[in-house]
């Protein structure tokens, strides 16, 4: 029944000392540290931490945003840990899934994630339909804000729009959309596009 810590800083210029010190003070016997953006699908240290954990262990983080790329991703990781009988504890928020209150929090998180995803998809699809009704494939050129990146990912996850349609919706190029989708998504998009091409 070990406490295993996980810390993440966004760039190599940042130092994880505050997180690792807090995790050590919480009793973590081993701490894994990633230097990576939270949006990246591949986080080597997190993969190592998940591989190290055993049933009865608890994964400890300082804050929930150190672990998940989004509410949805956080819920997926929580479900994976729960299925393996591994607890999850967030120190600064006082969340511990080994307690009834902590489990309730993640049930609520699941509902919020689903609601958030549905709203993003609905708003984006409505915007696409309105633009087409006005004879436009997409809006004016503009930068991808965090909210628009989330909308683009939601459209991709919904599986009903091609990358080109998503790019047209936001008035950007396909490479721009690819840049904002993580590496794992890029591979899945390539496979989907190839499969959709008509036979010659």
Measure the N-to-C terminal CA separation of the chain; round to a whole number of Å: 58
Q: Which residues have C-beta within 8 Å of that of residue 111, sequence separation ≥ 6?
A: none
Strands (E), the chain: 3-9, 30-35, 58-61, 87-90, 95-96
CB contact at 8 A, 112 and 77: no
Catalytic site includes residue 10: yes
Which among 10, 37, 92, 173 is annotated as catalytic?
10
Cβ contacts of 193-199, under 8 Å, gap ≥ 24: 193/162, 193/163, 196/162
Query: Buried b / exposed e across 22-58, counting CB within 10 Å, b at 16+?
Result: bbeebebeebbbbbbeeeeeebebbeebbeebeeebb
Distance CA 109, CA 26 (A): 25
φ/ψ (deg, to 5) at 55 = -55, 135
Q: Which residues are catalytic?
A: 10
């Amino acid at each position: 029944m070990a406490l295993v810590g996980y810390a993440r800083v966004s760039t190599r210029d940042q130092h994880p000392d505050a997180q690792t010190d807090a995790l050590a003070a919480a009793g973590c016997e081993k701490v894994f540290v990633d230097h990576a953006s939270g949006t990246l699908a591949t986080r080597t240290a997190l993969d190592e931490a998940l591989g190290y954990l055993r049933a009865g262990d608890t994964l400890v983080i300082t804050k929930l945003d150190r672990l998940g790329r989004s509410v949805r991703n956080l819920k997926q990781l929580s479900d994976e840990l729960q299925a393996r009988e591994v607890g999850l504890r967030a120190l600064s928020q006082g969340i511990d899934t080994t307690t009834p209150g902590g489990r309730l929090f993640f049930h609520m998180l699941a509902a919020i994630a689903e609601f958030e995803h549905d709203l993003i998809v609905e708003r984006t699809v409505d915007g696409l339909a309105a633009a087409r009704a006005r004879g436009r494939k997409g809006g004016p050129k503009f930068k991808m804000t965090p909210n628009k990146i989330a909308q683009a990912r939601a459209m991709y996850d919904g599986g009903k729009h091609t990358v080109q349609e998503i790019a047209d919706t936001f008035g950007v190029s396909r490479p721009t959309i690819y840049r904002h989708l993580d590496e794992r998504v890029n591979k899945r998009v390539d496979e989907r596009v190839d499969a959709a091409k008509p036979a010659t």
